[in-house]
A and B are shown apart, each in its own frame.
Chain A
């Protein structure tokens, strides 16, 4: 892959594993690592530190959300107890993009942030295991709407001063598609929503974004700092490897409360009820194409000529 050249050399990575294995007093871990990576040269100074310091200091902040797993069939009233929870798929893509930018040497640090109940820390750990450098958790209770999330994010941006804020385009639970646009508005930063390609120009401090819009693609050029929200086709998120999951346990997660950030959590919208959508009536299984054409003509009152006629 393109970003690979800028990765630390493999032995450093391996050294970290060795260190980790030593810390864990787990020789099995070490042998597993060596077994899985036979191509790596045998390290001579395995605990040698990487001395080269990168000059790049841009931070990327990524917002991630814990949601009901995408493959779960939602039961009535939206049962969230004892249901598999995961990182919102669009957030995984956002984090992956941030990691790729860092691996290409364009950023120094990726900070993953999340808001919500204390269980959200699990999702944050997943993000750290994917490769985020550290995490921030703003612990809240009760429902959190995009306006509040955007205000919390603005406050965190003011603390961390990232050059890019990357979010998913929507959460698959509330399907709002608002937070990124709102935080951009609050910060008065330019926004590149529904991104399917992101190209950073470090020198000029601009980012070029291809956006998935109705009827095609649109390319925008944004001055940094900027907010980007990711579409599905931006990238293919990586899996967290076992060593990285282990390593993530020792990464720092900073806790904030909304009060720390001077944000008042209030809402101007209120959920009245959640209902099941109307059920479709049972359909019929046909046996032949002729029958299908007949049904379309006679029962659905639709056929080719009619559709064509109405088009004209």
Chain B
């Protein structure tokens, strides 16, 4: 009691700014608990969201992780069951079932994060930094009046993060000093998960429904989902592929780009492209690798007819092995390539196709 009185007396004497700093530091040292906003598709949670769980685990050893899934219908509940066993460190799965969440519209989803955060008092909210997370998380941060941190590649301590700036040409370490929750989007290639997860059926987390009775209606209806157009492809997803074969302007036409696709098929690889190739209409834009496209870090990245502009390098420089084939020996891509081959891609690719061992 005496100490409380002494503290109270002390508080009266010290300046308000000092007090707020004390409050901030106590909140920094409070226990860590994380809410991971997960994306799901076809009854399973997406690999990027499992990476976000991995990032959450690296915050501290003692970190209860809650996974938040929203949507509607049976696919949601199937995904929730899948999420409950996706990682032994998941302590709870929260499910928000409502028609408002059947499409990933930022307005209701940001409000949902706000609602769940207010109830759960999490110290961190994490999501993968794909187009889904980047759309929703900053909006939720504004509702919570906190600064979000985008594209985290390293978690040094619960409030110290490393993120790339200037198209990956510099790494910036930022400290979160706010008293509110810390909202992060994490680069999934920096928090890789083993492809086959340990069988953790024995360790299934409980699934709880989110009480949506206090969910306001005021943002609903301001935006409506119309449609989604996607390219159907049997190749692996660009963001998670172990091998990526990409082409640039030098391919000259959509027709020629098919060579890249053939090579990718042979290697079981995903296809990537530079902005030039996308702008010229050789391939759809969701295949663009770079600062403004996808960030990939496969085991093998093969660049054909890619000059290696800063903006492209930003999207692939963390690949384990980079192979570049280009006519121009001075092309900047050769400065990052582990193996370079100066030559005409129209000769090299057919030769590779011929000489690479047969698929199956």
Which residues in A have some Cβ–Cβ distance to B below 8 Å?
68, 70-71, 73-74, 76-78, 145-147, 150, 169-170, 172-179, 181-186, 188-194, 196, 208, 211-223, 226, 231-233, 267-277, 280-281, 283-290, 292-293, 295-296, 300, 302-305, 307-308, 310-311
B172 within 8 A of A: yes
- On whether the beta carbons of A308 and B195 are closer than 8 Å, the reply is no
Closest partner residue, chain B, to A170 (CB atom): B292
For the complex, what is the distance from the CA of A274 to the CA of B163, rounded to whole Å? 10
Could you tell me the distance in whole angstroms from the C-beta of A70 to the nearest C-beta in chain B?
7
How many contacts A-B (CB < 8 Å)?
281
- CB-CB < 8 A to A293: which residues of B? 352, 355-356
B116 within 8 A of A: no
- CB-CB < 8 A to B300: which residues of A? 296, 300, 302, 307
Are A178 and B148 CB-contacts (below 8 A) given A73-B169, A218-B228?
Answer: yes
B158 within 8 A of A: no
**Residues of B320-358 contacting chain A, CB below 8 A:** 320-323, 329, 334, 336-342, 348, 351-352, 355-358
Q: Which of B145, B243, B278, B334 contacts A307 (CB 8 A)?
A: B243
Q: Which of A71, A220, A231 contacts B292 (CB 8 A)?
A: A231
For the complex, what is the distance from the CA of A146 to the CA of B269, rounded to whole Å? 37
Are A270 and B177 CB-contacts (below 8 A) given A178-B148, A181-B106?
Answer: yes
- CB-CB < 8 A to B311: which residues of A? 70
- On whether the beta carbons of B269 and A147 are closer than 8 Å, the reply is no
Secondary structure of the A side of the interface? mixed
Which residues in B have some Cβ–Cβ distance to A below 8 Å?
105-107, 110, 130-132, 134-143, 145-151, 160, 163-180, 195, 218-219, 221-231, 236-237, 239, 242-243, 266-269, 275, 278-279, 284-286, 291-292, 294, 299-300, 310-311, 317, 320-323, 329, 334, 336-342, 348, 351-352, 355-360
For the complex, what is the distance from the CA of A307 to the CA of B15, rounded to whole Å? 63
For the complex, what is the distance from the CA of A147 to the CA of B150, rounded to whole Å? 13
Q: Which of B142, B170, B359 contacts A274 (CB 8 A)?
A: B170
- On whether the beta carbons of A172 and B167 are closer than 8 Å, the reply is yes
For the complex, what is the distance from the CA of A215 to the CA of B195, rounded to whole Å? 21
- On whether the beta carbons of B105 and A220 are closer than 8 Å, the reply is yes
- CB-CB < 8 A to B147: which residues of A? 145-147, 267-269
Could you tell me the distance in whole angstroms from the C-beta of A17 to the nearest C-beta in chain B?
33
Q: Which of A213, A277, A287 contacts B164 (CB 8 A)?
A: A277
- On whether the beta carbons of B285 and A233 are closer than 8 Å, the reply is yes
Could you tell me the distance in whole angstroms from the C-beta of B217 to the nearest C-beta in chain A?
12
- On whether the beta carbons of B226 and A191 are closer than 8 Å, the reply is no
Could you tell me the distance in whole angstroms from the C-beta of B300 to the nearest C-beta in chain A?
5
Are A184 and B139 CB-contacts (below 8 A) given A190-B223, A220-B223, A285-B340?
Answer: yes
**Smallest CB-CB A-B distances: 5 pairs:** A268-B178, A216-B230, A185-B142, A181-B138, A190-B223
Could you tell me the distance in whole angstroms from the C-beta of A174 to the nearest C-beta in chain B?
6
- On whether the beta carbons of B131 and A277 are closer than 8 Å, the reply is no
Indicate the member of B131, B175, B348 with the most A CB atoms within 10 Å.
B131
Q: Given contact pairs A172-B166, A178-B141, A215-B286, enumerate 12 new A-B contacts (beta carbons under 8 Å).
A: A78-B166, A185-B142, A191-B106, A212-B286, A216-B286, A218-B227, A220-B105, A223-B222, A300-B321, A304-B358, A304-B359, A305-B357
Q: Which of A174, A208, A283 contacts B339 (CB 8 A)?
A: A283
- CB-CB < 8 A to B224: which residues of A? 220-222
For the complex, what is the distance from the CA of A174 to the CA of B229, rounded to whole Å? 30
For the complex, what is the distance from the CA of A311 to the CA of B236, rounded to whole Å? 8
- On whether the beta carbons of A292 and B339 are closer than 8 Å, the reply is yes
Interface CB pairs A-B, < 8 A, 18: A73-B310, A78-B166, A184-B139, A194-B131, A213-B132, A214-B239, A214-B294, A216-B229, A221-B223, A222-B224, A226-B223, A231-B292, A268-B147, A275-B171, A277-B168, A283-B336, A288-B341, A311-B242
For the complex, what is the distance from the CA of A281 to the CA of B317, rounded to whole Å? 12
Could you tell me the distance in whole angstroms from the C-beta of A83 to the nearest C-beta in chain B?
11
For the complex, what is the distance from the CA of A174 to the CA of B136, rounded to whole Å? 19
For the complex, what is the distance from the CA of A219 to the CA of B226, rounded to whole Å? 5
Could you tell me the distance in whole angstroms from the C-beta of B320 to the nearest C-beta in chain A?
8
- On whether the beta carbons of A189 and B222 are closer than 8 Å, the reply is yes
Closest partner residue, chain A, to B128 (CB atom): A214
For the complex, what is the distance from the CA of A272 to the CA of B164, rounded to whole Å? 13
Are A177 and B228 CB-contacts (below 8 A) given A172-B291, A311-B268?
Answer: no
Indicate the member of A78, A150, A170, A190 with the most B CB atoms within 10 Å.
A190
- CB-CB < 8 A to B131: which residues of A? 194, 211-214
- On whether the beta carbons of B359 and A285 are closer than 8 Å, the reply is no
